[in-house]
């Protein structure tokens, strides 16, 4: 066999292992799972093709939904003409915002984040290219596509804003009227803030001050299976939703709120996801598919095509980050000031939460006594961004670690020693007032240096996450 | 032109069904014949999740108008584990952890079957080239390449025994 | 548009009849079917060449005759066309090469269609069937302006390059299955250390494959050295009309063209 098993450290749980060996295991456990090969429980289904993904559900009389989407970045909708589309053979129904019981939502309302800021189907305005306006339900996918292509929308163009700093300037076009300004408000504040120590004082006494700017692009999760669902009306009036959502209960609750229906009228069948990576957390296909299924009284499938997945499914947010550091000659960082902008796109989705995560992550895994951070969640006329693997943290890490390398280069210091010198230790108070515990950065760097053949002086090799040795 | 009756030999059996004009081989397999192992990932021929064998050669079924392959022989993943017994490729995919979400698996296995039918002892480079039209977003490809090489090894062993 | 009919005729003449009636010609489907699947088909009827008897590949007396519906795989597997094998392996994946056809390759938008770049360098001839009978046309004309209404390319003919005169190089984002940043295909003959003849075709640097005539002119009578080829590559900037796409910017394509032209001819 070609996979490798790492040797297992059997010195841990010694008493439990002995008990298990003597036939007195706790809860029937024998402590042999780690260190042995355990077959994936879903592998047989995958290799035989019997795993059931949502699109493998093919109920009789299945109808198909395709969306007519905004052709503009930012525009007022003057008129929507459905005449030609309704004449396409096979088109059953065309839904507009008037058909959605509660046409305004935000996925995070369930944890008290507001305001609701996003129409399910656009009402009087579109705020990003590809925003859904009308849903065409038809006998076949081809008829639904043809119907969607024949809807005529008259627009009055509005000036778009695509840059986070431009969006925050006085007089910038207002992207999202439900917020009233182009940023999310955090408990009355214009951004998520960290104030720890006195950075002004740190900059005043620093030997060196370094400031650099970092910018990332949006990143699409690009799962192999596109976002979608099949909704099947049940004889008892309930709706069964087969979905590839990564968040079944999130989807159930939000869909019920949008449909204005009790939660127990919906049933989600999910959990089998053809790749998600955070891209299938927003609740974007199920609510409108449910309305369509009720209106047509037929099962309805709504699945993104690849172009929709790339264009309108929410990516990782683009971020712009400015980091300014107060650094002493020996490499100790005594102050760090960060200004971070998350490009949420036109709607909040999960970006207010991602921005908070970014703030909590600053100033990175380093014990810096003076920290100031302003983290802005900004609305622009771009595709709404949302969750993706460590969102809020990943791009900050790219910026923070680039910053560390640049400081090391500027001061002609070993980049690993610079990090060891500043790494947080157990007991350090982090900038957001949590005491660090279970830290292991020091040991990880030491081990990485050893594996890479990177020489560290004795003093640095003796450093530990649990002591102040060498500081 | 109305829908027409199309006949294919699917996994060794002659199957007939009614196809609307322009319907793909993929949609026919999935929706007319109930063979859902082949997946629709992009409908553009870019991801390989719908790969099946047409007369023994891998093709992306999403780009085949079904009328154009009438009468020909099509093999899908459902035809691989005949009688419920996994073959060497399937077993190797399980044993080498070459599956994660499972969405690319059917296409990967069909490409591997065609490769090993043609070349029982492929090099690693041959395997990488063979699956170069199949996208996997979860595994990073290494376990899949290892599994296909392992399957080849097992199949050769079975032959020589 | 919603597809109303897919015709699968058994002869080139029947294909011409459907084509003349407005049906859209489809070789292997790798270009047409993505449009069908996204509702963007340019016609309501398709005519497939899969069964029109145009799949043959023959090599005789130093001339290759390749049916328009021959797949890229069939071309690559023909023992008489082994010089094209490295080029074919840079095109898409083995799976797609079982579907994509030689005829279709002439009509795809750049940065796809590397075989068409090769055929341009080989100065191939297209055999065309149409409502008014058959005619031949240089591949350069077909690449530049297509074929007439109702016409179907049924085969491509090309003289095989002799040993040592064929060159091909493709710069791509990945080693396999990636479109062209710059593709260079060339037939170049030398005598006494200097170039006596060259025909250089470029892909990835204009909406259609183009001849690098400025580079060809500059090379005549000069040796194939690093410096001369770099100069020729610079001269080729006069022959291109590069574009931005997800693979590379127009600026990048132009910037790296001299490097890849040199690498094609001076491995």
Residues C184, C147 share a domain:
no
Non-local (6+) Cβ contacts of B13 within 8 A are none
Query: Are residues C103 and C201 both part of a single domain?
Result: no
pLDDT band of residue A38 (cuts 50, 70, 90) is confident
Model confidence over A251-280: pLDDT tens digits? 999 999 999 999 999 999 999 999 999 999
Topology of domain A192-219+315-461, CATH: Aldehyde Oxidoreductase; domain 4 (3.30.365)
Q: Do residues C140 and C216 both lie within one domain? A: no
Q: Tell me the nearest-neighbour CA distance from B103 into chain A, angstroms.
A: 5
- Examine the pLDDT at A223 and tell me if it is beyond 60: yes
Decide if A44 touches B, using CB distance below 8 A. yes
Is the pLDDT confidence value at A184 over 80? yes
Within an 8 Å CB–CB cutoff, is residue A426 touching chain C?
Answer: no
Distance CA A112, CA A102 (A): 18
pLDDT at A98: 98
Give residue B160's pLDDT.
Answer: 55
CA distances for B12 relative to A101, A168, B5, B48, angstroms:
51, 65, 19, 23
Looking at chain A, the domain(s) classified CATH 3.30.365.10 span 192-219+315-461
The minimal CB distance from B42 to the residues A42, A43, A306 is found for A306
Tell me, yes or no, whether C6 and C37 share the same domain: yes
Tell me: the pLDDT tens digits for B68-125?
A: 999 999 999 999 987 789 999 999 999 999 999 999 999 999 999 999 999 999 999 9
Q: Do C183 and C154 fall within a single domain?
A: no
Same domain for C234 and C138, yes or no, is: no
Quote the number of domains for chain C: 2
Identify which of B46, B77, B96 has the shortest CB distance to residue A49.
B77
- Sorted by where each starts, the structural domains of chain B and their CATH numbers stand as 4-79 (3.10.20.30), 82-160 (1.10.150.120)
- Name the segment(s) of chain A with CATH classification 3.90.1170.50: 55-158+220-311
Q: What is the DSSP letter of B45?
A: S
Provide the CATH number for the domain around residue C40: 3.30.465.10
Q: What is the mean pLDDT of residues A153-169?
A: 98
Q: What strand order describes the sheet that includes C194-203?
A: C166-172, C180-191, C194-203, C210-211
CA count, 13 A, side-chain hemisphere, A9: 3
CB-defined contacts A:C, below 8 A: 17
User: Mean pLDDT lowest for which of A25-34, B22-31, B41-50, B70-79?
Assistant: A25-34
Does residue C219 register a pLDDT over 80?
A: yes
Looking at every residue in chain A, the average pLDDT score rounds to 95
The pLDDT value given to residue A2: 47
Residues of chain C contacting A149 with CB distance shorter than 8 Å: 39
Check whether A25 has a pLDDT greater than 70: no
Span between the terminal Cα atoms of chain C, in Å: 48
pLDDT at A303 over 60: yes
Determine the pLDDT at residue B1.
65
> Has residue A4 got a pLDDT over 60?
no
d(CA C137, CA C151): 12
Q: d(Cα A425, Cα A438) in Å, to the nearest integer? A: 9
**Which domain range does residue C11 map to?**
1-107+123-159
Segment C21-72, tens digit of pLDDT? 999 999 999 999 999 999 999 999 999 999 999 999 999 999 999 999 999 9
- C43 and C127, same domain (yes or no): yes
> Rounded to whole angstroms, how far apart are CA atoms C250 and C243?
4
Kindly state whether residues C95 and C211 are assigned to the same domain: no
| pLDDT band at A37; cut points 50, 70, 90 | confident
**Residue B51 near residue A224 (C-beta atoms within 8 A):** no
Residue A111 phi, psi (nearest 5): -110, 25
Give me the mean pLDDT over the A157-182 stretch.
Answer: 98
Which subunits count as partners of chain B given 3+ CB pairs below 8 Å? A, C
Q: Are C93 and B48 a contacting pair at CB < 8 A?
A: yes
By C-alpha distance, the chain A residue nearest C37 is: A142
Do A49 and B43 count as a contact with CB atoms less than 8 A apart?
no
Contact B31 A47 (CB under 8 A): no
At B159 the pLDDT is: 65
In this prediction, residue A6 carries a pLDDT of 62
The 10s digit of each residue's pLDDT in C75-120 is 999 999 999 999 999 999 999 999 999 999 999 999 999 999 999 9
One domain for residues C18 and C101:
yes
Q: What is the mean pLDDT of residues A380-404?
A: 96
pTM score: 0.95
Long-range contact set of residues A202-206: C-beta below 8 Å, sequence gap at least 24: A202/A326, A202/A334, A202/A335, A202/A369, A202/A370, A203/A324, A203/A326, A203/A335, A203/A337, A205/A326, A205/A334, A206/A326, A206/A327, A206/A328, A206/A334, A206/A335
The span from the CA of A365 to the CA of A437, in Å, is 12
Is the CB of A273 inside 8 Å of chain B's CB atoms?
yes
Average pLDDT rounded to a whole number, residues C148-161? 97
C251-266 pLDDT, tens digit each: 999 999 999 999 999 9
Subunit contact B103:A2, Cβ cutoff 8 A: no
pLDDT category, B161, cuts 50, 70, 90? very low
**Hey, what CATH topology would domain A55-158+220-311 get?**
Aldehyde Oxidoreductase; domain 3 (3.90.1170)
Q: In this model, does residue A320 exceed pLDDT 70?
A: yes
Residues C186, C79, single domain; the answer is no
- Give A5's pLDDT tier (boundaries 50, 70, 90): low
Q: For residue C208, what is the domain's CATH number?
A: 3.30.390.50
Whether residue C181 is found in the same domain as residue C101: no
pLDDT at B50: 98
Q: Are residues C154 and C183 in the same domain?
A: no
| Tokens of residue B71, six digits | 């009468």
Rounded Cα distance, A434 and A361, in Å? 11
The whole-number pLDDT of residue A26 equals 64
Q: For A50-72, what is each residue's pLDDT tens digit?
A: 999 999 999 999 999 999 999 99
């Amino acid at each position: 066999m070609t996979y490798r098993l790492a040797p297992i450290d059997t010195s841990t749980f010694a008493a439990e292992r002995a008990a298990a060996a003597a036939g007195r295991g706790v809860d029937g456990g024998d402590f042999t799972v780690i260190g042995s090969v355990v077959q994936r429980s879903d592998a047989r289904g995958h290799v035989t093709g019997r795993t059931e993904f949502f699109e493998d559900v093919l109920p009789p009389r299945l109808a198909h939904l395709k969306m007519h989407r905004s052709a503009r970045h930012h525009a007022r909708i003057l008129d929507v003409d459905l005449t030609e589309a309704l004449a396409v053979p096979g088109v059953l129904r065309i839904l507009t915002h008037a058909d959605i019981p509660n046409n305004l939502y935000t996925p995070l309302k369930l944890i008290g984040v507001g305001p609701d800021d996003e129409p399910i189907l656009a009402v009087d305005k579109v705020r990003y290219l590809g925003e859904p306006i009308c849903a065409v339900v038809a006998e076949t996918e081809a008829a639904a596509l043809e119907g969607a292509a024949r809807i005529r929308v008259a627009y009055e163009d509005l000036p778009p804003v695509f840059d986070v700093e431009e969006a925050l300037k006085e007089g910038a076009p207002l992207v999202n009227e439900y917020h009233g300004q182009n940023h999310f408000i955090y408990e009355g504040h214009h951004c998520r803030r960290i104030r720890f120590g006195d950075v002004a004082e740190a900059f005043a006494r620093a030997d060196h001050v370094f400031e650099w700017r970092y910018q990332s692009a949006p990143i699409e999760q690009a799962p192999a299976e596109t976002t979608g669902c099949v909704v099947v009306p049940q004889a008892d009036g309930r709706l069964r939703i087969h979905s590839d959502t990564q968040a079944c209960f999130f989807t159930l609750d939000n869909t019920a709120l949008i449909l204005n229906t009790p939660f127990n009228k919906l049933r989600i069948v999910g959990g089998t996801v053809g790749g998600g990576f955070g891209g299938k957390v927003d609740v974007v296909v199920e609510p409108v598919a449910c309305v369509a299924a009720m209106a047509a009284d037929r099962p309805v499938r709504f699945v993104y095509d690849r172009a929709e997945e790339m264009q309108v499914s929410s990516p990782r947010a683009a971020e712009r980050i400015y980091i300014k550091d107060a650094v002493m000659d020996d490499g100790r960082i005594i102050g760090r000031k960060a200004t971070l902008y998350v490009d949420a796109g036109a709607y909040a989705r999960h970006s207010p939460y991602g921005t908070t995560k970014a703030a909590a992550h600053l100033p990175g895994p380093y014990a810096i006594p003076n920290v100031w951070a302003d983290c802005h969640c900004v609305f622009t006329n771009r595709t709404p961004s949302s969750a993706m693997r460590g969102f809020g943290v990943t791009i900050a890490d790219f910026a923070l670690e680039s910053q560390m390398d640049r400081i090391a280069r500027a001061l002609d210091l070993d980049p690993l020693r610079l990090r060891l010198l500043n790494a947080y230790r157990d007991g350090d108070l982090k900038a957001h007032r949590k005491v660090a515990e279970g830290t292991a950065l020091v040991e990880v760097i030491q081990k990485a240096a050893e594996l890479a053949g990177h020489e560290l002086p004795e003093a640095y090799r003796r450093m530990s996450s649990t002591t102040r040795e060498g500081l | 032109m109305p829908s027409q009756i199309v006949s294919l030999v699917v996994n060794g059996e002659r199957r007939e069904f009614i196809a609307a004009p322009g319907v793909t081989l993929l949609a026919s397999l999935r929706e007319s014949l109930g063979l859902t192992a082949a997946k629709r990932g992009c409908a553009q021929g870019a991801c390989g999740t719908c790969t099946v064998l047409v007369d023994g050669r891998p093709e992306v079924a999403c780009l085949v108008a079904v009328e154009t392959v009438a009468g020909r022989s099509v093999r899908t993943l459902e035809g691989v584990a005949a009688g419920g017994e996994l073959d060497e490729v399937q077993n190797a995919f399980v044993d080498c952890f070459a599956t994660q979400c499972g969405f690319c698996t059917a296409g990967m296995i069909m490409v591997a079957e065609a490769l090993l039918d043609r070349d029982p002892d492929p090099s690693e480079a041959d395997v990488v080239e063979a699956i170069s039209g199949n996208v996997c977003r979860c595994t990073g490809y290494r376990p899949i390449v290892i599994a296909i090489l392992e399957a080849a090894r097992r199949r050769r062993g079975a032959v020589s025994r | 548009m919603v597809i109303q009919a897919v015709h699968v005729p058994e002869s080139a003449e029947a294909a011409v009849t459907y084509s003349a009636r407005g049906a859209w010609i489809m070789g292997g489907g790798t270009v047409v079917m993505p449009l069908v699947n996204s509702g963007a088909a340019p016609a309501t009827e398709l005519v497939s060449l899969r069964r029109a008897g145009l799949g043959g590949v023959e090599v005789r007396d130093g001339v290759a005759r390749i049916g328009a519906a021959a797949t890229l795989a069939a071309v690559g597997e023909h023992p008489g066309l082994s010089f094209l094998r490295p080029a074919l392996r840079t095109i898409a994946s083995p799976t797609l090469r079982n579907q994509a056809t030689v005829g279709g390759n002439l009509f795809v938008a750049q940065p796809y269609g590397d075989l068409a770049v090769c055929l341009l360098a080989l100065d191939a001839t297209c055999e065309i069937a149409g409502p008014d009978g058959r005619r031949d046309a240089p591949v350069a004309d077909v690449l530049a302006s297509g074929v007439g209404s109702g016409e179907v390319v049924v085969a491509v003919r090309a003289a095989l390059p002799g040993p040592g005169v064929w060159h091909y190089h493709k710069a791509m984002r990945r080693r396999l299955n990636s479109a062209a940043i710059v593709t260079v295909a060339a037939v170049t003959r030398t005598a006494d250390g200097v170039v006596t003849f060259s025909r250089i075709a470029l892909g990835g640097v204009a909406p259609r494959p183009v001849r690098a005539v400025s580079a060809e002119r500059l090379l005549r009578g000069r040796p194939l050295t690093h410096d001369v080829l770099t100069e020729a590559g610079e001269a080729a900037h006069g022959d291109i009309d590069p574009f931005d796409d997800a693979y590379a910017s127009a600026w990048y394509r132009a910037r790296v063209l001299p490097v890849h032209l040199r690498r094609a001819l001076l491995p």
